Amino acid sequence: MCMGFGCNAAGIVGCRIIDSPRERLIAILTNNFVPCNGRFPTLIAVISMFFIGFSGLLGSVISALLLTLVILFGIIMTFLSSKILSKTLLKGVPSSFTLELPPYRRPQFLQVIIRSILDRTLYVLGRAAMVAAPAGLLIWLLSNITIGNSSVLLICTEFLDPFARLIGLDGVILMAFILGFPANEIVVPIIIMSYTATGALTEFSSLFELKNLLVANDWTIVTAICFVVFMLMHWPCSTTLMTIKKETGRIKWTALAFMLPTAFGALICFIISTVARLIS
C-alpha cells in the first residue's frame, strides 16, 4: 500500500511479497485508493485554491493538514473495501504474514541500477507510452474536429453533463477524467483546454488565475469537494490496469479493479452533492 503513494503500478508489483493468493488479490484490487504521485499535485492545487484562506506558513500548514485528511480517508476506504471483498467475493481464512530477512550481502550497485532500469523504469515507461501516444492523438482530434459549430470534445461534454451533475461535477470535469486515463497529471490541463476552448493543452502561471477560470465556469466549494473525492477514488490509470492484468492474469479482476474505486467515488460524490442541494 505504501508503494502506491509513489505509483500504484509499483504498489501492484509490490504485492508479490504476499504469499496468500487471496490476500494478494485483495491488496491489488484496493491499492488504487492510495493517491499516487500523479494525483498529489492536483489534490494540493484544488485544496490550496478552494479551502485555504491564508497565505504563507499558516496556509501551508492548513493545506498539509487537509491533504493528510484526504490521504487518511483514502486509507480508510482501502480498509473498508478490503473488508467488503474478504466477506463477499474473496472469502477465506486470513493467513499470518511472516517476513524473513535474507542473509546480509554486500550490495552490487551496478547490478542494482541496471536491473532497476531494465525491470522497472523502462517497463513502466514503455507501458505508459503504449497508451499515452494514442491518447494524446485522441485528445487533439476531439478538440480540433468540429461538427457544425461545436468541437467533438464539446459535444461529448454536453452529453456527459447530466450524469456528471448528479455527482457534483460537470461534463467537462468528467470528460477530463476519461481522457486522463493514460495519466492523472493531464486531468487539469484538459479541463483548462475545454473551458478556454483553445484546442491544445495549456497551463496557467498561477493558481489565482486557474481559480478565477474555474469559478467563472460555476465551480463551487461542493464542486471542489466532489472533484477531490473523485480524484482520490476513480479508475486506475492505464499503466496500473495493464500491470493488474499482468499480475492477476484475468480480465475480470482487472475490470473489478476499474469498477471498485469508481463506484465508491461516484457514490460518495452523489451523497455529497445531494446533501448540498437539500441544504441550499
3-state secondary structure the chain: CHHHHCCHHHHHHHHHHCCCHHHHHHHHHHHHHCCCCCCHHHHHHHHHHHHCCCCHHHHHHHHHHHHHHHHHHHHHHHHHHHHHHHHCCCCCCCCCCCCCCCCCCCCCHHHHHHHHHHHHHHHHHHHHHHHHHHHHHHHHHHHHCEECCEEHHHHHHHHHHHHHHHCCCCHHHHHHHHHCCCCHHHHHHHHHHHHHCCCCCCCCCCHHHHHHHHHHCCCCHHHHHHHHHHHHCCCCCHHHHHHHHHHHCCHHHHHHHHHHHHHHHHHHHHHHHHHHHHHC
Q: For position 97, what pLDDT does the model report?
A: 61
Nearest Cα to Cα of residue 151 among 200, 197, 203: 197
Identify whether 122 is part of a domain.
no
Identify whether 114 is part of a domain.
no
Q: How many CB atoms lie within 10 A of CB 118?
A: 10
Distance CA 178, CA 187 (A): 9
Q: For position 234, what pLDDT does the model report?
A: 93
pTM for the complete prediction?
Answer: 0.84
Q: How many domains does the chain have?
A: 1
Point out the residues of the chain with pLDDT beneath 70.
53-57, 59, 93-99, 115-133, 199-205
Identify whether 263 is part of a domain.
yes
Identify whether 119 is part of a domain.
no
Q: For position 93, what pLDDT does the model report?
A: 64
pLDDT digits (tens, 9 = 90+) for 193-211: 888 877 666 666 678 888 8
Identify whether 112 is part of a domain.
no
Dihedral sign (CA 11, 229, 141, 155): positive
Identify whether 116 is part of a domain.
no
Identify whether 110 is part of a domain.
no
- β-sheet bridge partners, residue 147: 150
Q: For position 238, what pLDDT does the model report?
A: 85
Identify whether 149 is part of a domain.
yes
Domain that holds residue 15: 2-92+130-279
Q: For position 132, what pLDDT does the model report?
A: 65
Strand extents, DSSP E, the chain: 146-147, 150-151
